[in-house]
Amino acid sequence: MTIAIAPRSRKVRVLATLGPASNSREMIAKLFEAGADAFRVNMSHGDQASKVGVIQAIRSLEADYRRPTTILADLQGPKLRVGKFEGGRVELVTGSTFVLDRDPTPGDATRAELPHREIFAAIEAGARLLLDDGKLVLRVTEHDVDRITTTVEVGGPLSNNKGLNVPDVVLPMAALTDKDRSDLAFAVEQGVDWIALSFVQRPEDLMEARGLIKGKAALLAKIEKPAAIERLEEIVEQCDGVMVARGDLGVELPPEQVPPLQKRIVEVSRRLGRPVVVATQMLESMIQSPSPTRAEVSDVATAIYDGADAIMLSAESAAGAWPVESVAMMNAIGNAVERDPGHGDRVHFTVTKPDPTTADAMAEAAKGIARTTSAVAIICFTTSGSTARRVARERPSVPILVLTPQAETARRLGLLWGTHAVHTRDVESFEEMVAKAKRMALRHGIAKAGEQVVVMAGVPFRTPGSTNVIHVVRITGDELKDYGAAG
């Protein structure tokens, strides 16, 4: 059964992670109806075969709801871990000496194996080593090619293969493991729209992934390492989108540093015109509770006021007891914040000056024209999606209806602020452009009779990057007469 879903009334997007609680087609449809605009497939859990049905289920929503679906495949990245212990568990005492070495013999309270050659090559005296998501803290006192001696600054229990974080040095490790390369090839073959790259430390880390993707998906950089902050603008310039991965940032940095860094990452991403997702622990209590805490609601609202393109659910929708309710809550918070009369002013605290290009000048002008003429929408004709991204960067007060002949473009725009993308036939002339814009505005509930819309396109048509036309038109209300559902 085909159900036409009206465009979301909110502009911030909701990205929902799928998992054991939400992998079925029925649950994915419920999440979509509750407000999910895009779906994250976490490649860290399960095998590739288990992901095929999930991706197909997401895609099948397109026929049911007559709307492009957006899929983000999130690569695991390198996982640093210590070795095993005699008896499976030890207790590290604060103030004691603890050694990490290359010996695979099971460890004890004085030493353990560290099976990562790159750490020995990069570590420095005085650097911290964090164990078990930061619960234990070691300080390096001495090191050589196969031995790191540390002082235990914060002790506690430590068991087999617990995770290790190295926040204070840049590790000479590729962001892609063999598993990631296999998962990336699989995701591209399955036709996902976005690839999220973990463990990004420098802009060079994005190059291998970009080469392997070969333009078949957009590349999103997860900012989760302190080293990435030092070269943030370079990294953002090299990717198609950004994720504020607050989980690992909160492990490797003092927690009080994460909120200002979140704002900085959002600001830089917006200024450079890249979609930015705020992720991790947004509604953490809803893994077990049907309602969030007031602090969590405030946290989500802050990201929306800052102008983030998307807000993400992790375990809340993937493995929690209330996946549909958590998506519905994200949707409700987004709607409530954007109804605030002060929302528009706060979103524009970040100044996004246009680049000295015709396309950027047109995007800025479209926002001003829509405001001055009281137009109800901006309608973009685009092949690559660049026009829509430029307009969205301006954060106009009206919806952005994006018309594109490329299904891939329509799908990738599911993470972009304020857009409603429609996959439709291309136009051949200026007159056809105007007529189609008016029809689509009516058909998708963006405008009604008597209202004006701002139309943007490039002439000659079918030429990517040629945006050079702005036209204001008034809807009469009879534009759909004699036209079918797709025209």
Catalytic residues: 40, 81, 222, 280
pLDDT digits (tens, 9 = 90+) for 445-480: 999 999 999 999 877 776 666 678 899 999 998 888
Tokens of 375: 């137009």
Q: What residues pair up with 40 in beta bridges, in sequence order?
A: 17, 72
pLDDT digits (tens, 9 = 90+) for 265-322: 999 999 999 999 999 999 999 999 999 999 999 999 999 999 999 999 999 999 999 9
Residues 461 and 426 sit within 8 Å (Cβ to Cβ): yes
Mean confidence (pLDDT) of the chain = 93
Alpha-carbon span 307 to 276, nearest angstrom: 9
Confidence of residue 358 (pLDDT cuts 50, 70, 90): confident
Please give the pLDDT value at position 301: 98
Please give the pLDDT value at position 5: 65
Q: What is the 3-state secondary structure (H, E, C) of 87-153?
A: HHEEEECCCCEEEEECCCCCECCCEEECCCHHHHHHCCCCCEEEECCCCEEEEEEEEECCEEEEEEE
pTM of the full predicted structure?
0.93
* Helix (H) or strand (E) run with residue 469 in it: strand 467-474
Query: Cis peptide leading into 460, omega within 30 of 0?
Result: yes
pLDDT digits (tens, 9 = 90+) for 229-238: 999 999 999 9
Percent of the chain whose predicted confidence (pLDDT) is above 70: 97
Alpha-carbon span 145 to 55, nearest angstrom: 45
Please give the pLDDT value at position 355: 82
Q: What residues pair up with 473 in beta bridges, in sequence order?
A: 453
Q: How far is CA 323 from the centre of its chain?
A: 19
Alpha-carbon span 5 to 462, nearest angstrom: 28
